[in-house]
Amino acid sequence: MINDLVILPVEINGRELSFLLDTGVNSTILFSLSEEDTTVINNPVTVYLKGLGGGKPLRGLQSSHNLLKIGDIVAKDHSLYIIPGDVVGISNRLGVEVNGILGYDFFKDFIVEFNYKRKKMKVYEPEAYEYKKCRECVDLPLYFYKGKPYVDAEISEKGKTPKNVRLLIDSGSGDALWLFKNTEKDITLPEKSFEDFLGFGITGSVYGDRSRIKALSMGKFDLREITVSFPDSLYLQDINAFEERDGSIGSQVLRRFHSVFDYEKKMLRLKPNSDFKDPFEYNMSGIVVEHNGYNIVKNAKSKPVFNVDSNNGDEGTRVYKSTLQIVYSLEPSYEIAEIRPNSPAEESGLMIGDEIVRLNGRPVYRYNLEKILQIFSSKEGRRIKLSILRSGVPMEIEFRLERIL
């Protein structure tokens, strides 16, 4: 689990890789490979891929008859798309290596049960799964369009009549809820909102507006004061071919449930877990941090040693001393990748490309990206002290987290 996203070990044609499990894609996508690594792929054909993000379509390869293995699950004739080279920056944004995305082609053959609290996923043959009676659960019908699952829900906004919406179930999104602005359906940007970086697709960054709505209701479950993002229409023109789609439900909602995905029966079962009533928060600092390689770090460690003093009897006397041992290690480097306009970070003078050296007095390499995001989303008014390097020049920056919504 990284920022509520599910990362799985997957084996492709005998090679061990890490994949993001994403219900929002209909095909398996492989990236972060060199040209030489693509030789393990069977029957490649050139294609062009377009997805969420503002960039141009990417040149890739379509491959068939591949052997895919996840645990004891084996698919002997798996098709996938390959994007050669390191053009997709998901790994840098998550801080762990991610080689691809696994979607519909995996889910369609199994019943998949998620336990977000225990970080466990169980996969069943459909005929072997037995549904138990569950008073706390709700079973929602799934609707499919081009291999992607949708669910009907209801949104409530202050001063407006609740309205029904059809939302993509998108486990690969780190947000709670996305809505697409549509005046005909009265889905409009709330009066209180702010512009922000929303996410990262295979063809680039996605920007839009963040806000809150009164509630998102799925069956009998109401999620109150939920954060919502409204992506700019520029980033949706190539992916929103399904006219009935009004937005997406992301991992910040899914992690609050124990869930069962049953594509064969077209059903999603939800049972609230202990995180259900957790408040929805967003990054209040205004900066997005990404992994940017490694630095060599010099550390001095105390090492106890002893010597024998032969002048004190035949056996001698053991004299304990302490010496310093110099240890060098490779530690992650983090830099600022995005800055929200008019945010506390921008007003403090931070700039894109600044390398963060220390966070609140502690070396930043002692944190992972998930922990850094937790600090930036923690508490309004919290003081953030950063030691940075800008073009090799050290600087000290300080600001406080500010909640806009």
Go through the chain and tell me how many residues it has.
405
Question: What local confidence, expressed as pLDDT, does residue 41 receive?
Answer: 66
pTM for the whole structure: 0.86
Question: What local confidence, expressed as pLDDT, does residue 322 receive?
Answer: 62
Question: What local confidence, expressed as pLDDT, does residue 47 receive?
Answer: 79
The DSSP annotation for 274-315 comes to TTTTPPP---SS-EEEEEEEEEEEEEEEEEEEEEEETTSSSS
Nearest-Å Rg of the Cα atoms of the chain is 25
SS3 of 117, please? coil
- Say if CB 249 and CB 167 are below 8 A apart: yes
Question: What local confidence, expressed as pLDDT, does residue 335 receive?
Answer: 96
Nearest to 202 by CA among 398, 396, 386, 27: 27
Question: What local confidence, expressed as pLDDT, does residue 77 receive?
Answer: 87
Write phi, then psi, for 107 (nearest 5 degrees): -65, -30
Query: Rounded to 5 degrees, what angle do the CA atoms 220, 221, 225 make?
Result: 140
Compute CA distances 43 → 69, 74, 238, 405, whole Å.
Answer: 19, 19, 27, 51
Compute CA distances 284 → 173, 178, 379, 380, whole Å.
Answer: 19, 18, 8, 8
Domains in the chain (CATH in brackets) are 7-113 (2.40.70.10), 131-272 (2.40.70.10), 287-400 (2.30.42.10)
pLDDT in tens, the chain (405 residues): 888 999 999 999 888 999 999 998 888 988 856 555 554 667 778 877 766 665 677 778 888 888 999 988 888 888 888 886 655 567 888 888 888 899 898 888 899 999 999 999 999 999 999 999 999 999 999 999 988 999 999 999 988 999 999 999 999 999 999 999 999 999 999 999 999 999 877 667 789 999 999 999 999 999 999 999 999 877 666 555 678 899 999 999 999 999 999 999 999 999 999 999 999 999 999 999 999 988 888 876 656 655 555 555 555 566 656 666 788 888 999 999 999 999 999 999 999 999 999 999 999 999 999 999 999 999 999 999 999 999 999 999 999 999 988
Tokens of 92: 């840098």
Nearest to 28 by CA among 52, 57, 1, 64: 64
Question: What local confidence, expressed as pLDDT, does residue 39 receive?
Answer: 46
Instruction: In whole angstroms, give the CA distance from residue 1 to residue 378.
Output: 19
Question: What local confidence, expressed as pLDDT, does residue 49 receive?
Answer: 74
Task: Classify strands 163-169 and 247-249 as parallel, antiparallel or unpaired.
Answer: parallel
Distance of CA 138 to the CA centre of its chain: 26
Question: What local confidence, expressed as pLDDT, does residue 323 receive?
Answer: 67
Instruction: In whole angstroms, give the CA distance from residue 382 to residue 51.
Output: 37
